[in-house]
Amino acid sequence: MIYSKRLFLLLLSVLMMAANYTYAQPAVSADKIAAVVGRNRIILQSELDAELANARQENPNYSDTMKCVILQQIILNKIMAEQAERDSVLVGEEEVEAALDNRVRYFVSMYGSKEKLEQISGKTVYQLKDEYREIIREGMISDKMKGNILQNVKITPAEVQAFYKQIPADSLPFFPATVEMGEIVVDPAVSPELEQYARQKLEDIRKQIVQDGKSFEVMAGIYSEDPGSRDNGGDLGVVSRTDVVSEFAAAAFKLQNGEVSQIVKTKFGYHIIQMVRRQGDQAHLRHILIKPERTSSDYKKALNKLDSVRAMLITGKITFQEAVGKYATDEMSSRTGGMVTDPQTGSSILEVDKLDPGLALMVDTLKPGAFSQPQVYDRGAGDKSCRIVYMKSITTPHKANLKDDYNRIQEAAMQQKKGLKMEQWLREKTPSYYIKIAPEYKSCGSLQMWKDNDSKQ
């Protein structure tokens, strides 16, 4: 979404500059106004400078002309916010706070701790949230307005074909190698004795919190075995039901504010959960995780089970989808039919150079239709499990074509159609807006639509 991208760029650039120039003075251009939309939506030169600085972290070749593109995007956001105000399009305070909490949590994770984030930025988390609250609110409203404008835009197969045919043959993009890979994950069962030991340990921790009044955050910092949240007092930020496994969600969303759950078992281990604040269909949560230890014997049993499953797959006694449904213990694999997907797009077509290292190593050894030997693998945060990997398809580097790249071409065609719809909307609506652009930007080609709007009030 637009607002999250802008906030990410702005925060990241501020933090990067703070890390390198902790005591630097504000830039001379900080108080200059680059543009104004409506009566009071001001775009500062310092905002453009910050976003350009961050863009150059990704691509050092960006020139100052990139400011024109950035300014165009920010003006568009301001126009969306103005129109939303006219149309009474709003976002709730809880939605804004949830977005802020998630963004701050991302940066805490990125820098290692809340204290490190505050040290680098020179501001407390509360000050950072206050500083960016209105930016994120405006961005969310802008996105909501844009969604309203584009919600009815659809694309047909005929339009996708027409879009593809109008691209000159020598301009077709060159796509890297891609794969479709699946996996059947079987989590090793833990011995009853070690299960009971882990559960009892967490029972004792819960008793100290609920009965003895000890701080949940302090106890999480001491005992939790979740490295992603332990150093932040077990804080998971704001999550929705679909962000966490079903057993966790079922227990968490029953809690009242401040309440601590009974012990909850998931594939990750045993948890106790604290409801910090309920926010409609979302919740700000903390948790403490204790993982039962698995022995080498536990892993051997899981690998033997997978070896039997692999034999059935190779002989055709069972299909991959049937095996996933019957034997996989990983909830996410079950949701995707066992296919590995891009977490951002949901697509099962993955670029080889973006695969995690464990899967990337198999690209040269597995042919389409083949299954790997059972293996123990690390799925992150020190959590090990067992799997067999299925190579569904491999596509070599090639020029774009409808057969291999229909989904990509469809998405490009959809974005073009949405862009044309937005241009049409802007041509119809922006004449009614006051838009003042600083003289040094009036020559920007991308801003010509608005260069004469400063006479409107």
pLDDT tens digits, one per residue of 19-31: 443 333 334 444 6
17 falls within a domain: yes
pLDDT at 342: 85
Q: Per-residue pLDDT for 3 more than 60?
A: no
162 falls within a domain: no
pLDDT at 31: 66
Query: Looking at per-residue confidence, does 64 or 261 come out higher?
Result: 261
436 falls within a domain: yes
Nearest Cα residue to 115 out of 10, 221, 17, 216: 221
pLDDT at 243: 82
C-alpha count within 13 angstroms, C-beta hemisphere, residue 370: 11
The reply to whether 286 and 353 lie within a common domain is no
Structure tokens, 41: 């939506």
Q: Per-residue pLDDT for 324 more than 80?
A: yes
Q: What's the rounded mean pLDDT across residues 34-55?
A: 87
Q: What's the rounded mean pLDDT across residues 227-247?
A: 87
Provide the number of structural domains found in the chain.
3
The reply to whether 321 and 390 lie within a common domain is yes
The reply to whether 239 and 116 lie within a common domain is no
Q: Which amino acid is at 320?
A: F
Q: Which amino acid is at 343?
A: P
Cα 432 to Cα 46, 87, 162: the distances in Å are 27, 14, 35
Kindly report whether the global pTM for this prediction surpasses the value 0.75: no
Domain of residue 240: give its range.
192-290
pLDDT at 456: 59
pLDDT in tens, 266-290: 988 999 999 999 877 788 999 999 9
The reply to whether 47 and 131 lie within a common domain is yes
428 falls within a domain: yes
pLDDT in tens, 107-139: 877 777 777 888 888 888 888 888 889 889 988
The reply to whether 323 and 185 lie within a common domain is yes
Confidence band of 454 (pLDDT split at 50, 70, 90): low
387 falls within a domain: yes
Q: Per-residue pLDDT for 358 more than 80?
A: yes
pLDDT at 213: 95
pLDDT at 238: 84
246 falls within a domain: yes
409 falls within a domain: no
pLDDT in tens, 184-221: 999 999 889 999 999 999 999 999 999 999 999 999 99
304 falls within a domain: yes
Share of the chain above pLDDT 70, in %: 92
The reply to whether 11 and 95 lie within a common domain is yes
pLDDT at 28: 42
The reply to whether 268 and 231 lie within a common domain is yes
Q: Are the C-beta atoms of 241 and 253 separated by less than 8 Å?
A: yes
Looking at 290, 311, 341, which one is the last position of a domain? Answer: 290
Query: Looking at per-residue confidence, does 334 or 306 come out higher?
Result: 306
The reply to whether 315 and 210 lie within a common domain is no
The reply to whether 244 and 380 lie within a common domain is no
Cα 215 to Cα 65, 219, 287, 439: the distances in Å are 52, 6, 12, 57
The reply to whether 196 and 184 lie within a common domain is no
Cα 149 to Cα 415, 424, 429, 447: the distances in Å are 14, 11, 12, 21
The reply to whether 38 and 147 lie within a common domain is yes
CATH number at residue 383: 3.10.50.40
The reply to whether 87 and 210 lie within a common domain is no
CATH number at residue 122: 1.10.4030.10
pLDDT at 273: 98
φ/ψ of residue 197, rounded to 5: -65, -45
> In the chain, helix, strand, coil percent, each to 5?
55, 15, 30
Looking at 264, 290, 316, which one is the last position of a domain? Answer: 290
Query: Looking at per-residue confidence, does 56 or 451 come out higher?
Result: 56
Looking at 235, 259, 290, which one is the last position of a domain? Answer: 290
